[in-house]
Amino acid sequence: MGAGTVVLPGVFNAATGMLAERAGFEAVYISGAGIANGVAGLPDIGLLTMDEVVRQAGYIADAVQIPCLCDADTGFGEPLNVYRTVQAFERAGVAGIHIEDQVAPKRCGHLSGKMLVSAQHMAEKVSAAVEARVDRDLLIVARTDARAVGGFDEAVSRAQVYLRAGADVIFPEALLSKQEFEEFAKQVSAPLLANMTEFGKSPFLSAAELAD
């Protein structure tokens, strides 16, 4: 994939991944909520195990020829568990994962009532993820849910901590306006991931708007 804004449609099984590839997308996003809801019939509140998500991610990665970025929730445990999580996802063939700074069991990023681990603890998870990967091109994306818990400035502060820990990309979940996305991009000098969903707290912005 080249530089610039890349649209990754959310998929949850091999069939939806293949449809996205056939439609011409450059990469796909393996949605944790999609797997929980669409495969297991469960709410997105951290009920699936690492093995269940890795297995589904592997099926999708095997079925397509484009990169797959996978939601790995909180990394399925503490820093040592995150190390093993990265190893498992890398063996499954994905191109990257994201982990988030919520307390386990996590909640869907657009639900209320989220709680966060400390920024330092999340940084230790990010460092473990970076250390665990064999392929240096495996993307480690650090998601922060701080906007809904501690406010915009807390989200920016945590993003900077996670970058220093080695994250390749920052995923600020549930920013509340186009202006917040613009300001976040000004303050956080790194590639960013934006989650656009019809039911979310963030405005539904186009790829062109996000690129601006």
| Active site (annotated) includes residue 145 | no
Distance CA 201, CA 120 (A): 26
| Active site (annotated) includes residue 59 | no
| Active site (annotated) includes residue 73 | yes
What percent of the chain clears pLDDT 70, i.e. is strictly above it? 99
Q: Which of 21, 70, 73, 168 is catalytic?
A: 73
Residue 4 has pLDDT above 90, yes or no: no
Confidence band, pLDDT 50/70/90 cuts, at residue 3: low
Confidence band, pLDDT 50/70/90 cuts, at residue 212: confident
Sign of the torsion angle spanned by Cα atoms 128, 166, 76, 155: positive
Helices in 165-198 by DSSP H: which ranges? 178-187
| Active site (annotated) includes residue 131 | no
Query: What pTM, to 2 d.p., does this model score?
Result: 0.95
Amino acid of residue 52: E
Residue 2 has pLDDT above 60, yes or no: no
Q: Which of 21, 29, 107, 133 is catalytic?
A: 29
Total residues belonging to the chain: 212
Q: Which of 83, 107, 158, 195 is catalytic?
A: 195
Residue 116 has pLDDT above 70, yes or no: yes
| Active site (annotated) includes residue 108 | yes
The SS3 of residue 99 is strand
* DSSP codes, 51-69: HHHHHHHHHHHHH-SS-EE
Residue 71 backbone phi and psi in degrees, to 5:
-75, 120
Q: Which of 68, 83, 98, 133 is catalytic?
A: 98
Look at residue 35 in the predicted model and tell me its pLDDT: 97
Where are the domains positioned within the chain?
Answer: 10-211
Q: Which of 70, 101, 108, 110 is catalytic?
A: 108
CA distances from 156 to 25, 47, 96, 190, 202 (A): 30, 29, 22, 12, 16
| Active site (annotated) includes residue 22 | no
What does DSSP assign to residue 103?
Answer: P
| Active site (annotated) includes residue 153 | no
67 CB-near residues (< 8 Å, 6+ apart)? 1, 26, 27, 28, 94, 95, 96
Q: Which of 70, 83, 90, 100 is catalytic?
A: 100
| Active site (annotated) includes residue 173 | yes
Confidence band, pLDDT 50/70/90 cuts, at residue 105: confident
- In CATH terms, the superfamily for domain 10-211 is Phosphoenolpyruvate-binding domains (3.20.20.60)
Residue 158 and residue 121 in contact, taking contact as beta carbons nearer than 8 Å: no
